[in-house]
Structure 1
Amino acid sequence: MFQSLSLWPLLGLFLIAAGAIWVAGVKLSNTTDILSQRLGLGQALGGVILLAIATNLPEIAIVASAAAADDLGVAVGNILGGIGIQTLVLVALDAFGMKERAPLTYRAASLTLVIEGLLVVAVLVVAVMGTQLPGSLIYARIGPDALLIALIWIVGVWMIGRANKGLPWHDDAGDAPDTQPHPKGHSRAGTEQAASARGISTTRAAIVFLVAAIVTLVAGVVLERAGDGIAEQIGMSGVLFGATVLAAATSLPELSTGLTATRSGDYQLAISDIFGGNAFLPVLFLLATLISGHAVLPQAQHSDIYLAGLAILLTSVYLAGLIFRPRRRVLGMGIDSLAVLVFYALGMAGLFAITLAG
């Protein structure tokens, strides 16, 4: 059906699907907060996994759809490009979401966030290593690289949960001085309290969650298929389209919820949600492998490895910002955010050069 459409109808479908993902993604985030609070999941492993799946449903739908169509270039590009784009969301939060004249990383500095960022780096390093394995190294539709990424993610989430309960430091919470006065996640509790004040029951929240999840999954498939048609008609490679336009469209809910968190003074949660989503995205390589029946990472292009390196670089800049806590703001943002913005722009220029050379 999508292949028979011209460019303008495809663009219309793409924009409608992106809008649906924006609205449904916000509903998913809000209802996830409500359900996590009422079911007592909180920062526990189950709560983190529920949040990671809910906030990445667009990417799950796109990867599943692309893998089913054996279009692994779009799947890999969306995963690795999505990490870069979602890291760039922190630049927007730093520039437009801060209520006070201090950089985001200065007010959010926490050892727990450093651990979360290191988990992003760890899964990306394994993904890069997996690209060098032979494609025949697969058994029962599972590759060792994708399986190892999933296991590292689970162990990492467990470690983060332990860190949230306390660390063997002078400040057992691992927070730097002069950070946010309220504990991480206080805005989620506020979301649940506001829902209770409006009389929203747990059953109603669960129904909204399910409906929003279905809308997100359907919109994600439409976004991928329409985007594939658009890329083909404008002569753009699937990897480049997936890493830029498609990844940006699926990052809209993270931008909206991140702005809500920063404006509520929950700076740690804003960064934690981005790092948490980025750490989960490479787990989708296991999903793509199961659906396609092929080892996905060994088929990665040079551009895919390049995008993984760019994502590691951007994450490392913010890790340095969380540790050194620069107070100076340039162009309305922290120095680390400005560096990420410059590195991303240079990275995209390099990606264009790679695709043109290919």
Structure 2
Amino acid sequence: MGSLSSPALLVLFLASAAVIWYAGIKLSDTTDVLSERLHLGGALGGLILLAIATNLPEIAITAGAAVAGQLGVAVGNILGGIAVQTVVLVVLDAAGVRPRAPLTRLAASLVLVLEGALVIAVLGVVVMGTQLSGGLAFARLSPAAVVVAAFWVIGLLLLNRAGKGLPWREGGDAPGAQPEPRGHSKGKKEKAATGKGVSTGRAALVFTAAAVATLVAGVVIERSGEEFFARQGLSGILFGATVLATATSLPEISTGLTSTKLGDYQLAISDIFGGNAFLPVLFLPATVISGKPVLPDAHHTDIYLTALGIILTTVYITGLIFRPQRQYLRMGVDSIAVLVLYAIGIAGLTTIGG
């Protein structure tokens, strides 16, 4: 990439972003079709299949960094993306909600509160893991990476159970929330695909092609973007936490807008929380690939961004519980708070050394 001119790098970066956006839409549609036809279940389909699919750029970047032994890049890529993916909910609140009501008011559900709590729990383990000795490993595994993965699996099992009903009024859904059940958009997409004659095999083929395109574009966008923005004077830390994290979050934006357009507000938030809970699980394959614990290579900026992700998630959990009624600039007060806190957090990030 270093031999390319700046205009060529910018074209590569923008082209890769466009591929990630378009492929993200295809991934969302085919994932929902496959989830319905293979009877994966609403919670498992949203939290496993779509979480993996929409995080393919991060998976590609993390795997490449682990192979190259650039463990700091792997950690920064995973933790830097969580705060930005949470800010995606601001975009969905402002642009995706058709009724004049905040996103969290329409999507309020105890299951979503539990999903947000899982994100916080996983990130708490991550912070603890950064403080462990780098030599603490066995059979190419580190305790922190294994515990993160275990927390995620246990969380999925609990969420799957919660998705079948909670011993609360309305089954855990707030009165006056979205009229149709969570995940109804998946059924609509599957019926539309059936009406167009899309077979399961074709859906799987499109899913695979979109996944490959996303993986390749994820690597290209990281390398071209880092080189281009470094030439513009943007530090690697700021690039990773802002520009790259935003670019690799395009699948979440496209899938979220699709869900909100269909009135499936709970699924839109679930996809974001599910993806954020899944990202730290990538520390496990990164550790296996590199052969050494990854988390001890975390920088102060990585821990800072992890804390920022926890704070932003907490704000939205609060919004889901208190269900704000008024909108300002088409956003709920929780989204405005998240936007302000993220801006302050990024400003603070510039003052921190590696």
Cα gap change, 1:241/1:72 in structure 2, threshold over 3 Å: closer, same or farther?
A: farther
In structure 1, what is the Cα distance between the partners aligned to 2:342 and 2:93? 16
Matched residue, 1:53: 52
Matched residue, 1:109: 108
In structure 1, what is the Cα distance between the partners aligned to 2:207 and 2:300? 38
Selected match of 1:304 from 302, 307, 312: 302
Deviation at 1:224, TM superposition (A): 2.1
Matched residue, 2:21: 22
Matched residue, 2:173: 175
**Residue 263 in 1 paired to residue 261 in 2?**
yes
Deviation at 1:8, TM superposition (A): 2.4
Q: Give the TM-score of the pair, scaled to structure 1.
A: 0.95
In structure 2, what is the Cα distance between the partners aligned to 1:93 and 1:146? 31
In structure 1, what is the Cα distance between the partners aligned to 2:199 and 2:65? 37
**Residue 202 in 1 paired to residue 203 in 2?**
no
Which runs of no fewer than 5 residues in structure 2 stay unpaired? none
Q: State the identity %.
A: 65
Deviation at 1:251, TM superposition (A): 0.8
Deviation at 1:272, TM superposition (A): 0.5
Matched residue, 1:313: 311
Which runs of no fewer than 5 residues in structure 1 stay unpaired? none
5 Å matches for 1:130-209?
A: 130-171=129-170, 173-209=171-207
Matched residue, 1:98: 97
In structure 2, what is the Cα distance between the partners aligned to 1:231 and 1:220? 16
Matched residue, 1:77: 76
Partner SS, residue 354 of structure 1: coil
**Residue 224 in 1 paired to residue 222 in 2?**
yes
Aligned Cα root-mean-square deviation (Å): 1.4
Matched residue, 2:127: 128
In structure 2, what is the Cα distance between the partners aligned to 1:69 and 1:5? 22
Matched residue, 2:35: 36
Deviation at 1:79, TM superposition (A): 1.1
Selected match of 1:246 from 234, 240, 244: 244
Aligned AA for 1:35? L
Contact kept, 8 Å, 2:47 with 2:271, in 1: the verdict is no
Deviation at 1:5, TM superposition (A): 2.2
Deviation at 1:247, TM superposition (A): 0.8
Contact kept, 8 Å, 2:19 with 2:214, in 1: the verdict is yes
Aligned AA for 2:19? A
Matched residue, 1:338: 336
In structure 2, what is the Cα distance between the partners aligned to 1:91 and 1:47? 20
Deviation at 1:144, TM superposition (A): 0.7
Deviation at 1:191, TM superposition (A): 0.7
Cα gap change, 1:6/1:142 in structure 2, threshold over 3 Å: closer, same or farther?
A: farther
In structure 1, what is the Cα distance between the partners aligned to 2:226 and 2:66? 13
Aligned AA for 1:262? T
Deviation at 1:225, TM superposition (A): 2.0
In structure 2, what is the Cα distance between the partners aligned to 1:93 and 1:273? 12
Partner SS, residue 4 of structure 1: coil
Deviation at 1:229, TM superposition (A): 2.2
Deviation at 1:203, TM superposition (A): 0.7
Deviation at 1:274, TM superposition (A): 0.5
Matched residue, 2:278: 280
Contact kept, 8 Å, 1:66 with 1:75, in 2: the verdict is yes
Matched residue, 1:86: 85
Residues matched between the structures, number: 354
Q: Deviations over 1:12-44 (max 9, x none)?
A: 211111111111111111100000101111225
Matched residue, 2:351: 353
Contact kept, 8 Å, 2:24 with 2:251, in 1: the verdict is yes
Deviation at 1:233, TM superposition (A): 3.1
